[in-house]
Structure 1
Amino acid sequence: MTRNAPAAPINQLQIGQRADGRFDDEEATQKGLTDGEQNQESEGWDRWVSRSVKEAPSWLVSTMIHIAIILLLALIPLHREVTRSLVLFLGNADAGGEGDSLTSFNIAESEMMLGENDGESAEDLAVTASDLSVIVPELTEIGTQMAAPDFSIKKGLTGRSGTMKGALLKAYGGTDQTEQSVALGLEWLERNQISDGSWSLVSPFSSPGTSENRPAATAMALMAFMGAGNTHQTGTYQPNVYRGLNYLLRLQDEDGYFAAKSAGIQRTYSQAQATIALCELYGMTGDPKLREPAERAVGWALRAQDQGGGWRYEPRQTGDTSVTGWYVMALISARMAGLDVPSDQLDRIHQFLDTVQRKEGVRGPNPDGDQYAYQAPSQPKISMTAEGMLCRMYLGWKTDDPRITEGCGKVAGEPIVTGVQGRDYYYWYYATNALHHAGGANWRKWNDVMKEALPELQIRTGKERGSWPPEGDPHGSAGGRLYATVLSILCLEAYYRHMPLSEMANR
């Protein structure tokens, strides 16, 4: 098919939604990006820190740790200053765009070549983390001792590669085993990419989903690759990301809509997931070719928001927590990438979350609640509690807010299980991310189980080596093996995929 001509990016709430997901009477604005700062490391820094840590009193060591983290962030060269649903993959989608070339997104052949140093093994990361242990000793304790430093949300994507990745992996409880599981999972995704660059929910593997949705499957696979530092420009899986990106861009129309060929109510999931993938990729690379498609996708999300603050199956439909969580992450990813997201529309999301906030023993919404429901009339669920807390933290709630710490305690009390009964990858994904961002004892309690249980669940032999089994999961029959595998990889990348909010300000 022929892709429609690109339209100007849109970031204002508009009216005139058509049945195919597109909008009429659009106004476009663009906002420039600010260049990232680059600093140079002082000579002899490691020796000075090592000596000082040994000799300094405990309060000074704590302060030094925070300074070291800030300096590490500043050392990362940025081209730009740069920030998920119950029926996750259900519904059908036409493959669409097979065989089409993307003339508006051409990358020179030389840019497709992998550098000899691209990608890092688990062993490499372990060595790196060990080398940095003097600079970041016991980072897991930070946040419980003193207020978090004023990190910018635009640094949220900067821990996915290099020395920072190794330091974060060690500091937050990752191991060689968790990294080996990530590596095996990405190898499985690589083997199952389709010739047109997409991924599928139904083939070419065993235990497929019951419904196809290639846009959603492709976006989620890309998120897993990017979580480990791969982009369309660099990384071990650069060719896979490049092909998957081009598949998504072939689907996008001039309104920023990816999901026109997806079926029914699942279009909204595909749209949010594709927006996350595109914004993260732009944020990681600063590639100017991606800015306009990313802005169009963000514009669609902003126009689809309900006046009550949430999102659901159709644009401007009264929201639910599951769908809203995906769009919150899409807009936060846009901010991480340096794109314009109006603060009033982010603030409006709190209005929706207020309607699903619950307190044990109290009927209906409650501002003191530490639990969340799927919709306003519903009872709280542990998966929605994890998702609701993650949204609140990304939207500005402090990680030490009593409602967050109490909710995190409830979530940490329902850990990952290795048996078939009780398997719930969706809940595990949101719980992992919420607890990682909140930090402290609840995260350590959760991670102590997760870092052993998820690798234990992973298939280690045969054709499906590297994947996770969907059997027993309440949504596993619909999403299938790819659904289970991607969410598991994202859990095991949580140590470095996003900089933890307990260590940085999100406003």
Structure 2
Amino acid sequence: MDQEEIPPEPIMEQDDLPPQMTVAPPVEGPLAKYMREYRLLNSLLVSLFILVGSFAALWNIVVYVAAAGEGNSDFSDAGAAPADQQQEKQKVVKLMQRQQKSQPKTQQQFRTTAVSDISLPDLNELDVKDLAPVVEAAAPTMAEVGSNNDQMKKAMAGIGLSLPKVMQQRCDPKKRMSRLRSGGGKEITEDAIMRGLNWLKNIQDSDGGWGDIDKTPEGNRPSYGKSSHKQAMTSMALLAFLGHCELQDSPQFGPTVQKAIDFLTSESPDELTGSANNGAYAHGIRTYALCEAYTMTKIPKLKEYAKRAAIFTIKGQNENGGWAYGFGKGPVAHTDLSVSGWCIQGLKAAALTGIPIDGLDESMDKAIEYVKRCQDQTGRFQYKTDSHGGQSGRGSLTGTGILSLQIWKNAKSEEARKGLDWIVANICDNKAQKEWKNVNVYGWYYHAQACFQATGAGGNNYWREWNKDFQQIVTKAQSEDGHWEHGYHFHGDTDIYRTAMTILMLEVYYRYMPSTKV
């Protein structure tokens, strides 16, 4: 039997094939891929975040606890006793009341013979913006300079507004520090000033003066006349406190200042004390202190003393325009620039009081002509005009001559410029002057002021050169107790004289602002 033939299966076309089933892998997003590939790194980051968060929480707890115990003070201590707090409040209230009474009802005027001749710049002219400051930083807060009491801030601001414009910067703590910084000053300078003032406070005599325990560089009592020396030293010390705007109501130095004022007003202001030479020096410095004290405190008694002292100075002027030992008259009198320099500063302070004083302008004009005649060919200034010119000037008196010109109509004079050029060439660029043992404090007191005042007359380069090493040299030489040891010998050198003058030279950054109206 034939086998039945089985036909072949038909070949199916591709389109007729049934669809095949496939299982797709799970879809993995970017985040899942990142977590899978960086598992170790992610674990480390999470651990770090937990650690930082724990530390931050612990820090907040510590800060909160510390702040709860300190109140609002930046630098607080255990606080004053209730009685002390009440006493301080009373002082502040008295200060505010006194300043309110002394606040001028109208714009303050200076009634001298020629008002236009007094250099009183506008506030917007006072910035020394193009100086190259040593430290560029914002001014510290009130708490950082010790005046963190709101009432005290307002009272100090009131004092500043009642002062001549050239003196206003010293009384607002914030402005004072701002001026220090803008002029290239450092915090070490302000610290040195405060230490020096505390030293003066601690050695004040029981009668309010200074001088009973003063010492020469050799450790001896000064041989100068006791009465004139004490008047001069008390005046110098008072000027140092006033330069920092420490007044009779100052919480820290108020009693010190008040006792000094009482001492200076315990003797007649229109007669010389002591010997002829010492008395002449002392009266010029005393006039300076009495006039500045009245300008800043407005104590009624001081007005009479300041005016009488200034009038006596004017009457004591020699015919040649200077001032002599014993305020002698005629060509044979011992007239010299050193005595004259103090009298000129005293009369300038008298002009700033606003008290009408007959003959003040004429006296100052004559004095400036005398000062110009004291300059020699090199730019230095001579001790006496009869030193026959040439090169007989003294470096220590050069700043005296320049400052005298600057504070009375002649800041831009050729004589002032020549003197400033000499200081830069022979003091600022002199390596020997970089050591305190070679520093003549008397000369530097004037040099520092002369170079700073030059900025008001476009002489910023003089201050830049002077200020390069000035602060470091002076502050480094201060003793631990706050006074300055002997440097280079100058006439009249004693611990009090030297320290007071050094404080005044460091206060140059804000004590008197340079004027552009010259």
Normalised to the residue count of structure 1, the TM-score between the two structures is: 0.64
Structure 1 equivalent of residue 326 of structure 2: 314
Offset of residue 201 of structure 1: 6.2
Q: Distance in 2 between matches of 1:393 and 1:437?
A: 7
Partner residue, 2:376: 358
> Structure 2: which amino acid aligns with 1:161?
C
Residues 1:294 and 2:301 aligned together:
no
* Match among 351, 361, 377 for residue 343 of structure 1: 361
Which string of whole-angstrom CA distances, capped at 9 and with x for unpartnered residues, describes residues 59-86 of structure 1? Answer: xxxxxxx9863699xxxxxxxxxxxxxx
Residue 329 of structure 1 corresponds to: 345
Asked if 1 retains the 8 angstrom alpha-carbon contact of 2:216 and 2:494, the reply is no
8 Å CA contact 2:126–2:513 kept in 1: the answer is no
Match of 2:170 in 1: 160
Paired residue for 2:13?
A: none
Sort the Cα spacing of 1:121 and 1:225 in 2 relative to 1 into closer, same or farther, 3 A. farther
Deviations 1:145-198 (Å, cap 9, x if unpaired)?
Answer: xxxxxxx99422222111332222122122100000000000100110011101
Deviations along 1:230-250, whole A, 9 cap, x unmatched? Answer: 122335311101001101101
Q: Is the 8 A contact 1:373 1:384 kept in 2?
A: yes
| Alpha carbons of structure 1 residues 235 and 375: separation in structure 2 relative to 1, 3 Å | farther
- Equivalent positions of 1:118-137 (< 5 A) are 123=145
Q: Which has the higher helix share?
A: 2
Moved over 3 A (4+): 33-38, 119-125, 201-209, 415-421
Deviation at 1:418, TM superposition (A): 5.0
Q: CA RMSD in A?
A: 3.0
Looking at structure 1, the residues matched to 107 and 171 of structure 2 have their Cα atoms a distance apart, in angstroms, of 18
Counterpart AA for 2:326: E
**2:397 aligned with 1:384:** yes
Q: Which has the larger radius of gyration?
A: 2
Question: Alpha-carbon deviation of 1:252?
Answer: 1.9
Output the CA distance in 2 between the equivalents of 1:349 and 1:282. Answer: 24
Q: Please, which moves more after superposition, 441-450 or 162-171? A: 162-171
> What corresponds to 2:422 in structure 1?
410
State which of 232, 238, 248 in structure 2 corresponds to 1:222: 238
CA distance in 1, matches of 2:207, 2:355: 29
**Distance in 1 separating the partners of 2:487 and 2:126:** 45
The partner residue of 2:283 within 271, 282, 306 is 271
User: Of 105, 124, 127, which aligns to 1:69?
Assistant: 124
Contact 1:202 1:208 in 2 (8 A): no
Please list the CA deviations of residues 264-303 of structure 1 after superposition, one character each: whole Å capped at 9, or x if unmatched. 4200111111111110011112233321111111111011
Find the aligned partners of 2:185 and 2:364 in 1 and give their Cα distance: 32
Q: Following the alignment from structure 1 to structure 2, what is the Cα–Cα distance between the partners of residues 315 and 388?
A: 19
Change (3 A) 1:376 1:120: farther
Tell me, in whole angstroms, the C-alpha distance in 1 between the residues paired with 2:398 and 2:144.
33
Tell me how far 1:483 sits from its aligned partner: 1.6
2:437 and 2:487 in contact (8 A); partners too: no
Change (3 A) 1:124 1:340: same
- Structure 2 unaligned regions, length at least 5: 1-102, 109-120, 128-140, 148-161
Cα 1:167–1:376 change in 2 (3 A) is: same
Paired amino acid for 2:361 = S
* Structure 2 residue aligned with 1:494: 508
Corresponding residue of 2:408: 395
Q: Secondary structure at the match of 2:369?
A: helix
Q: 1:208 to 1:167 in 2, by over 3 A?
A: farther
2:459 is the counterpart of 1:452 = no
1:374 paired with 2:387, answer no
Distance change >3 Å, CA 278–CA 486, structure 1 → 2: same
CA contact under 8 A between 1:412 and 1:443: conserved in structure 2? no
SS in 1 for 2:169: coil
When the two structures are aligned, how many residues end up with a matched partner?
A: 354
Change (3 A) 1:381 1:235: farther
d(CA) in 1 for partners of 2:473, 2:341: 25
Q: Matched residues in 1 for 2:214 and 2:167: separation?
A: 31
> Hey, what's the Cα distance between the residues in 2 that align with 1:183 and 1:236?
11
Any conservation in 1 of the 2:442–2:490 contact (CA below 8 Å)?
Answer: no
* SS of structure 1 residue aligned to 2:326: coil
| AA in 1 matched with 2:263 | Y
- Other-structure match for 2:441: 425
CA gap 1:427/1:471 in 2 versus in 1, 3 angstroms: closer
> What SS does the aligned partner of 1:279 have?
helix
Structure with the bigger RCO (C-alpha within 8 Å, sep 6+) is: 1
Matches within 5 A, 1:89-238: 123=145, 154-162=164-172, 163-200=174-211, 202-203=213-214, 207-211=219-223, 212=226, 213-234=229-250, 236-238=252-254
* Cα distance in 2, alignment partners of residues 392 and 247 from structure 1: 32
